A and B are shown apart, each in its own frame.
Chain A
Amino acid sequence: MSGIWIIAKMSLLENSRKQVFHVLCLLMLAVIGSSTLLTIFTEGVQIKILKDLCMTCILFGGAALAIALGATGIPNDVESRTIHPLIARPITRTQYVVGKYIGTLITVALGVAAMTAAFAVLIYGYQHSFDSFLGIAILFTLLEVAVVAAIATTISAFVSPAIATVVTFMAYLAGTIKIGYIGGLIERSQSGVSKAIYSLIYHALPNLESFNFKTSLVHHDVVPASYLWQVAIYGLCYIAFVLVVGASYFSSREV
């Protein structure tokens, strides 16, 4: 276990000093800050737009960080051979992969925390109170980002940083639209083979929309606790499954 934390700490130190982390965080903070310029709406509408915009910003910012940092960590270590002194120590490749993932996740969580803090300040400035559901919505956004980071880490165990970034981004997009688009393809497909292929893709991809509680936050919808638990367990299981695949492959890979 300590091996995982040491690799995670190193990964956190490295990621948090990367320019891409600072640039993406500043960019998203700037977008959140600029949402105060939306003054043409009535106050109630303005708050709804503010929440919608800020939640979207946190989600995209977090996902962008997860892809940029998660898809590059392992392949960069392999290509630059920085991995050699690390795995020459008494740690397993699985510990290395999980450590890199946790390090990436903590870095992304720091970025999400900064954006959330800015969002919370704005919301408090407008309505002088916090939504009770805000924390839960942010927590599930973080879970969605954690799923994206797990996918990025696993894909990066197989391929180069550039390919891992592109493939993870495509998986992220497909995971966001899968219910509507791929679900529709399954319903419309005539042949059994294509139906099986679409079903395989449908089940392999994460259902990222299930983590998105932005609409519930904006419109004050009530979400049952049982549903939240289901989504949380689904997310954690998906992360575990994806990381097992990545670590299994990386354990036998020659570096």
Chain B
Amino acid sequence: MDHPIRTENLRKVYKLGRRKGTRTAVDDLSIEVPHGVVFGFLGPNGAGKTTTIKMLLDFVRPTSGNATIFGKPTTQASTRRLVGYLPEQPYFHKFLRPVEVVCMHAALAGVDKRDIRRLAAAALERTGISEYADTPIGKLSKGLTQRVGIAQAIVGDPKLLILDEPTSGLDPIGRRHTRDLILQLRDEGKTIFLSSHLLSEVENTCDTIAVLKRGRLVAYGTPDQVRGGDQKVTIQVAALDKQTKESLRFAGADVEERPTAISISVLPESVYDVMRVLEKAGASIVRIQTERESLEEAFLRLAA
């Protein structure tokens, strides 16, 4: 079966005018998004995330390379029949009401006329904005408008959801609600392509991650694979003499004096050497723990 999203050497170069030349927004991007996963699309501002999404939805055309959705070229309108899209900071006509917007999107998604009202009401209920269904969008807060955006994206049972910063503008409760909704949608078999700056959100929801830096793919895999980096072991001891500290540094450890203890950080392969030094010095070990690189640390290492 074809991948929900597949890009091959996708490249987008914007012309900035005669004097300013060009800017490469996306460069040689090749990714495959598997079925039924939450795919995190990460990168700092200007990394090319939104441009990639725009190419996937045919808002802009690639300079070279190609992209497919469920095996069909993104330039065909019918390709988007299986797609729901939430733009970053969604804007809707301020004179329209949430129920009108969601009904219209249900109709555009090809929902049967008889089911439109019912499915729109269900989508509004699922995103927690039923009580605002008849309030003009111009009078809704940013967070509630964001929820209208999520409701219009999920209506019509799309198989692929492209969500650009879905929790932007939401309060902590709304953020949690949206995160749970994303996981529910994945459990229902949908594929979710999630672009986000919030690393904790990505860490808690994504099965696969791609990290972009200046338009290029710098990491791709499961969160564990992307985190990769160096796993460290931290040993805390009560006290150490100067000679032991020197021996530990010679064994490859980082020794840090803290108010209550001395912290020794060491790579797993050097743990035995360090332990032998500590045993020889008769050091009193307070705590031993392993520390993995967080996604935030990995992101900073990869994208900063």
Q: Which residues of A contact B (CB under 8 A)?
A: 2-3, 6, 9-10, 13-14, 17-18, 80-82, 84-92, 95, 252, 254-255
Instruction: Say yes or no: A85 contacts B80, CB within 8 Å.
Output: no
Instruction: Say yes or no: B105 contacts A85, CB within 8 Å.
Output: yes
A-chain residues with CB within 8 Å of residue B86 when the two chains form the complex: 85
Instruction: Say yes or no: B95 contacts A13, CB within 8 Å.
Output: yes
- Cβ < 8 Å to A, chain B residues 55-102: 57-61, 77-81, 83, 85-87, 90-93, 95-96, 100
Q: Which residue of B lies closest to A81 (CB)?
A: B91
Instruction: Say yes or no: A80 contacts B91, CB within 8 Å.
Output: yes
With A and B bound together, what is the CA distance between A87 and B60 in angstroms?
12
Q: A84-B85, A88-B87 are in contact. List 12 more A-B contacts (CB 8 A).
A: A6-B104, A6-B107, A10-B104, A13-B95, A14-B93, A88-B80, A90-B78, A90-B79, A90-B108, A95-B77, A252-B61, A254-B61
A contacts with B: majority SS: helix
A-chain residues with CB within 8 Å of residue B79 when the two chains form the complex: 90
**A89 in complex: contacting residue of B61, B80, B91, CB < 8 Å:** B80
Q: Mark B155-170, 1 if CB is under 8 A from A, else 0.
A: 0000000100000000
Instruction: Say yes or no: A85 contacts B90, CB within 8 Å.
Output: yes
**A254 in complex: contacting residue of B60, B96, B110, B162, CB < 8 Å:** B60
Instruction: Say yes or no: B59 contacts A84, CB within 8 Å.
Output: yes
With A and B bound together, what is the CA distance between A33 and B35 in angstroms?
65
Instruction: Say yes or no: B78 contacts A84, CB within 8 Å.
Output: no
Q: Does B149 contact A (CB under 8 A)?
A: yes
Q: Which residue of A lies closest to B86 (CB)?
A: A85
Instruction: Say yes or no: A85 contacts B92, CB within 8 Å.
Output: yes
Can you give 13 contacting A-B residue pairs, CB < 8 Å?
Answer: A3-B108, A13-B96, A82-B92, A84-B59, A84-B85, A85-B149, A85-B153, A87-B59, A89-B105, A90-B108, A90-B110, A252-B61, A254-B60
Q: Does B154 contact A (CB under 8 A)?
A: no
Tell whether A84 pairs with B87 under 8 Å between CB atoms, given A13-B96, A90-B78: yes
Instruction: Give, as a whole number of angstroms, the nearest-CB distance from A98 to chain B.
Output: 14
Instruction: Say yes or no: B59 contacts A89, CB within 8 Å.
Output: no
Tell whether A88 pairs with B83 under 8 Å between CB atoms, given A3-B108, A6-B104, A254-B61: yes
Tell whether A91 pairs with B85 under 8 Å between CB atoms, given A2-B107, A6-B107, A13-B96: no
Instruction: Say yes or no: A89 contacts B108, CB within 8 Å.
Output: yes
